[in-house]
Amino acid sequence: MSTLAAPVPAPALAPRRAWLADLPVLLVAVVWGGSYLAAKGITTAHTVIAVLVLRFALVLPVLVVAGRRRLRALSAAQLRGAGALGLVLGGIFLLETYGVVHTSATNAGLIISLTMIFTPLAESAVRRQAPPAAFLGAAAVSVAGVVLLTQGAGFTAPGPGDLLILGAALARTVHVLLMARIKAVQDADSLSLTTVQLGGAVLVFALLAALPGTGDGPWAAAAGFGAAQWAGLAFLSVFCTLFAFFVQMWAVRRTSPSRVSLLLGTEPLWAAAAGIAIGGEHLAPLGLTGAALVLAGTAWGRRAAR
């Protein structure tokens, strides 16, 4: 469950120094992989919005304090652009969190990896430029893998959770394309841009929480949390949001954006590992075949896109 800041170019590093920058990024991929299981452990269908409010409301003040000077320097156009991106980001987290409630953490992490396939395909469509044949082959392998992954014990229709996660992958694609095409935000400070986006997402969650019929309110959900639920919420807020964001900010200035993206692309592996090793999930042979195809297809697609 990632929130990506726009990367900036960085000078090449010596191999040893590059690996020192890679290790924290790899740790981000690990915690993001574990975020699906953590979200599943503290969230029900009635507490999705409440948990989202709590998760981001805990971390947003830290980002505001850390970047208050640069926030004041944003222009009105930059604020509007970042706010619009925040609305999309809110939709992504709603789809992801509702989705993970209704599917396994393993499925969620693997299906969301299709973003790496959808984004170049969408960009090719916008540019009216056909992608390489190798990339189309990789996309076909990944889609076939998702079909197998979502079938369970036999060839049945994908479950609602799987479809919601697929929707989140498509929404992530829209978010990336908008970040590249909204001119006002392209020169904005990354910390300020992310802070405004998270603020927009929290506003969406807070408004939804105030509506009747949207489940428990944040305070009611928090009152029902035990130690395990608070630990899960702290993990999502501190590690999967605050720590992950600052590591990205640090890493893209010390290594290449493509290297960071490649390491973060291991997120599905860790999602599957967490779901199986900690969550007690297990995949049937059909599901294992689908998982292998998703991972192979996304890895192939990243190489073909480069």
| Residue 181 clears pLDDT 60, i.e. is over it | yes
Reported as a pLDDT band with limits 50, 70 and 90, residue 49 is very high
Provide the mean pLDDT of the chain. Answer: 82
Cβ pair 188, 74 in contact under 8 A: yes
| Residue 135 clears pLDDT 60, i.e. is over it | yes
Sequence-distant (6+) residues with CB within 8 A of 182 are 81, 84, 85
Range with the poorest average pLDDT among 94-98, 251-255, 266-270: 251-255
Looking at the chain, the whole-number percentage of residues with pLDDT higher than 90 is 25
Reported as a pLDDT band with limits 50, 70 and 90, residue 9 is very low
Question: What local confidence, expressed as pLDDT, does residue 19 receive?
Answer: 61
Kindly report the pTM of this predicted structure.
0.81
Amino acid 201 reads A
Question: What local confidence, expressed as pLDDT, does residue 97 receive?
Answer: 92
What number is the average pLDDT over the span 256-260? 58
What number is the average pLDDT over the span 25-50? 88
- pLDDT tens-digit series, residues 201-230: 999 999 999 898 888 889 889 988 999 999
